[in-house]
Amino acid sequence: MAVFTPVNDNDARKLLTRYNLGELVTLRGITAGIENTNYFLTTTHGEYVLTLFEVLKADQLPFYIELMHHLAALGIPVPQPQTQTNGKRLTTLHGKPSTIVTRLSGGYEPDPGPTHCALAGETLARAHLAGQSFTIRQPNLRGLAWWQETIPHIIPFLDAAQARLIQTVLDEQTRFAESTTYKSLPYGPAHCDLFRDNVLFDGTFEMPKMGGFIDFYFAGWDTWLFDVAVSVNDWCIERHTGTFEPEKLRAWLDAYAVIRPFTAEEKLAWPTLLQAAALRFWVSRLFDYYLPRPAQTIKPHDPRHFERVLLARRQDAALALP
């Protein structure tokens, strides 16, 4: 359930008076998602998505809203926040920060093939390059500092082997973050959560077309290589073991590198950043599982999945970056 705050047709009509988006045609709640209230909003001008933010506060949102606006203006297929008649892109509804964005076409592919992987890799590279001219800075709020803060709270719930693994990898990542190799990695606005369910495709399975990237609300400034690692750790693996499927991984990386070639330092950092990406989601899933927010009603994801992915990244040799 992702409609935490009910919105009726009259509410939507009043909201639309703040925009030049035409008259309300239909309003329909969206059940996908875990943190925000979302509605499909159709007007006489087009199709949109209305979001009410249930967790993030108004002062936390400009980075995400303006990043999407910036990328959309440069031709990257992302939801474009709509501007009100007062020039602002963030408003309120029922006391919650709210925004209206364009609705992208297509749906997500739960079992992507190499062609889907190539389209995702190419589009992420284009997004990284487009983000170079974005001026608002915000760190990845689920990066190293958050791991360092959070892991001591979840270690008491782990068995001895898990505790050794998570502490060992954290120590390795902390040391690597101080290295000259890490500090030389290309850096900028990154999605940081580009799982397969955050990408939409049009067309057929055999001939997919990119619909666009959605859900930027974990975005932040980070190394672009971390963003790539997060993505391939979901897109290009055998789900039950966490091991890579080489054909998908090669398609993803080759397509990305055509748009933005990897640097020598990135090729050195690749195995370590793959582990960083796996650690980030193991930690967050452990946190959500053992220390959920008091009002959280969504069943948390199984943390063991990213434990398996992390072990696979430590045991199997990933394909080298092209």
At 37, which CATH number? Answer: 3.30.200.20
User: Per-residue pLDDT for 2 more than 70?
Assistant: no
pLDDT band at 292 (very low <50, low <70, confident <90, very high): confident
Q: Do residues 295 and 147 both lie within one domain?
A: yes
pLDDT band at 55 (very low <50, low <70, confident <90, very high): confident
* Domain range enclosing 25: 9-102
Run of H or E residues at 24: strand 24-29
Average pLDDT over residues 22-28: 98
- Tell whether 3 is covered by a domain: no
Q: Do residues 125 and 190 both lie within one domain?
A: yes
Return the pLDDT at 35.
77
Are 199 and 209 spatial neighbours (Cβ–Cβ below 8 Å)? Answer: no
Full-model pTM: 0.94
Average pLDDT over residues 93-117: 97
Q: Could you give the number of structural domains in the chain? A: 2
- Tell whether 67 is covered by a domain: yes
Return the pLDDT at 294.
57
Q: Do residues 303 and 203 both lie within one domain?
A: yes
- Tell whether 4 is covered by a domain: no
Return the pLDDT at 48.
98
- Tell whether 1 is covered by a domain: no
Looking at 37, 67, 102, which one is the last position of a domain? 102
In the chain the first and final C-alpha atoms are separated, in Å, by 41
Q: Do residues 55 and 149 both lie within one domain?
A: no
Which 8-state DSSP code applies to residue 219?
-
Looking at 102, 130, 152, which one is the last position of a domain? 102
Q: Do residues 131 and 220 both lie within one domain?
A: yes
In degrees rounded to 5, what are phi and psi of residue 298? -85, 135
